[in-house]
Amino acid sequence: MQNNIRNFSIIAHIDHGKSTLADRIIQECGAVTERELGTQMMDTMDIEQERGITIKAQSVRLTYVKDGQAYILNLIDTPGHVDFSYEVSKSLASSEGALLVVDASQGVEAQTIANVYIALENDLEIIPVINKIDLPAADPDRVVEEIEQTIGLDCSGAIYVSAKTGVGIRELLDAIVDRVPPPSGDEDAPTKAIIYDSWFDNYLGALALVRVFDGSIKKGQEVLIMGTGKKHQVLDLTYPHPIKPTKTTEIKTGEVGIVVLGLKNVSDVAVGDTITDAKNPTKEPVGGFQEAKPFVFAGLYPIDTDKFEELRDALDKLKLNDASISYEPETSVALGFGFRVGFLGMLHMEVVKERLEREFGLDLIATAPTVIYRVKLTDGSEVEVQNPSEMPDTGKIDKIYEPYVRATIITPKEFLGNIITMMADRRGIQEKMEYLNEDRVMLVYAVPMNEIVVDFYDKLKSATKGYASFDYEPIDYREGDLVKLDVRVAGDVVDALSIIVPREKAQFRGRELVKTMKELIPRQLFEVAVQVSIGNKIIARETVKSMGKNVTAKCYGGDITRKRKLLEKQKEGKKRMKAIGKVHLPQDAFLAVLKID
């Protein structure tokens, strides 16, 4: 039984055809009927279907017959976007093999390289798959050569397929059976399984998707979750499938399955935790993948302030399905009670906000995203700052350190000048420049995380007409000449709009910010000053003119002193309003901070 199991993942750069290939493999194995077959069956979320991207790694158990023998194939489809590389590392820790899918027309991209290195770290058998060979621009031989040169992977056994038309799928399945090793593990040892995904079901509670390394999990068995030290009864077991999961009474060594423990508390099944037998536990937990560390932080606040507890509940449930988010409560003078949430990148932030709004019916405001800074104080101590409003006073700061990332950009050579200019503008330090072939160049830069966190990906795509690909990994903290910009509306600091910027860009960013805010703040009955300051020094100001009511409309003709008296009275009223008036800021004002170029 164990020798006939194959666990494998599909890895690739974004849009190279992973999910379509997964559909063809499912179809070829006869796991769905023609009527049930959809497109991107493994992308089950609405947001995945709409955006055309994979966000969550999904699993399916398939049966494939070769030479009269039945094989169990556990396929894990993984995301391609840089923000979801955490999902890739989880999946690869549970596999023995990986299909490296590369587009036959586009060739090796930045994320291709990053994913291969994760697979190599996990000692996986990598099968190169050249996809989209049906395209007019396809050049599979060039791509094979590129893979060998760039990654150093032997491509003599590369499989040429078209996931769209189904060409080469049977050869690929044969290669999986022949080349991916069966799972190793001791069937008679105590139960040892890793939780590599989990989610919340309204009827069944918290569900855990597990890969069994030793022993087996049986229905009715009492299991121990090693991270929490809690014991639970196994209520049900199923094999994963996008349409019709199959129930079973036992998940054996090397298999992948869903464990139902009937847990109401979502924190009891943490991704990366080990499940073992309660009476005869295993000695060591499964080593696997590192915990995801958020890079980008933003405040999420409910527009309706009464919904704070609902937001907490929604984040608890979402964390079960997306273990890479972190959150803690925070308050803001402008926005009330909310959470400081940590994300892996900007797309991840957009997706989490959209999922919270769709799946849990919330209306949310997100503040400007920031990264974690390390601040060395004059007394020698060091503090970490996630939120610009927590930045200590200028007089207490000795040095500010900011996180740097290593960015890998692959681009056609005609856009090289655009990228070099763009990276210089974002304080990037070039580490490497290498021609992959006569047309494509790979650039490696060390760049501050703060510079790529907001609109970098959009700007890169604009500068290269959409042809460049981009990937990054965190490297270290380096000293930076940074200042905090505070936005003051009618004299009050709006803490949710504070941002940290390089000193040389502070004047420009401040001026742009007040100009944008002036357009967005609705006119009041009194004059409103919008200012940007560094500490107590104002560096930019705009004034939102007051709405004037025509108090002299009823005075036609007659004595001028009557009109003057009314105008003076109006002036006094406006002065009083200015002293006590409150300005309501629309959500657009908070989003404006992101749009300052």
Q: What is the mean pLDDT of each run of 10 residues along the chain (597 residues)?
A: 84 75 82 56 48 57 84 73 57 80 84 77 86 86 86 84 86 90 84 79 80 88 84 87 79 87 73 82 70 76 82 83 78 77 78 83 80 86 81 83 88 88 89 84 89 78 80 83 82 76 85 80 73 84 74 68 76 60 58 50
Range(s) within the chain of domains with CATH label 3.30.70.870: 296-367
What lies within 8 Å, CB to CB, of 424 at 6+ separation is none
- CATH homologous superfamily for 192-277? Translation factors (2.40.30.10)
Decide the pairing of beta strands 205-214 and 250-251.
unpaired
pLDDT value for 83: 54
Contact by Cβ (8 Å): 154, 177 = no
- CATH homologous superfamily for 484-595? Elongation factor 4, C-terminal domain (3.30.70.2570)
Range(s) within the chain of domains with CATH label 3.30.70.240: 374-480
**Yes or no: domain 374-480 corresponds to CATH 3.40.50.620:** no
pLDDT value for 578: 53
pTM for this one? 0.68
Contact by Cβ (8 Å): 550, 566 = no
- The owner of tokens 């997100």 is 366
> Which residues, listed in sequence order, are joined to residue 9 by a DSSP beta bridge?
76, 98
How far is it, in rounded angstroms, from Cα 527 to Cα 538? 18
> Which residues, listed in sequence order, are joined to residue 160 by a DSSP beta bridge?
130
The tokens for 326 are: 């972190």
pLDDT value for 597: 42
pLDDT value for 576: 59
**Closest residue by Cα to residue 227 from 285, 304, 162, 280:** 285
The tokens for 171 are: 């050869």
How far is it, in rounded angstroms, from Cα 32 to Cα 84? 28
Q: Is 188 exposed, middle or buried (0-12, 13-18, 19+ CB in 10 A)?
A: exposed
The Cβ of residue 331 has, within 10 Å, a number of other Cβ atoms equal to: 12
Specify the 3-state DSSP secondary structure of 339: strand
Range(s) within the chain of domains with CATH label 2.40.30.10: 192-277
Q: How remote is the C-alpha of 218 from its chain's centroid?
A: 35
pLDDT value for 40: 45
Phi, psi of 81 (to 5 degrees): -75, 145
Range(s) within the chain of domains with CATH label 3.30.70.2570: 484-595
Amino acid in the structure at residue 582: K
Q: Is 379 exposed, middle or buried (0-12, 13-18, 19+ CB in 10 A)?
A: exposed
According to CATH, the topology of domain 296-367 is: Alpha-Beta Plaits (3.30.70)
CA dihedral over 126, 128, 131, 137, signed as positive or negative: positive
Phi, psi of 518 (to 5 degrees): -60, -40
Q: What is the CATH number of domain 2-179?
A: 3.40.50.300
Binding residue positions: 15-20, 131-134
Specify the 3-state DSSP secondary structure of 421: helix
Q: How many residues does the chain have?
A: 597
Contact by Cβ (8 Å): 80, 14 = yes
Distances (CA, A) of 249 to 58, 238, 259, 342: 22, 8, 11, 39
- The owner of tokens 């002293």 is 579
Range(s) within the chain of domains with CATH label 3.40.50.300: 2-179
CA dihedral over 414, 415, 419, 421, signed as positive or negative: positive
pLDDT value for 585: 63
Phi, psi of 368 (to 5 degrees): -60, 135
Contact by Cβ (8 Å): 223, 262 = no
Binding residue positions for GTP: 15-20, 131-134
Phi, psi of 500 (to 5 degrees): -110, 125
Specify the 3-state DSSP secondary structure of 461: helix
The tokens for 399 are: 């040095």
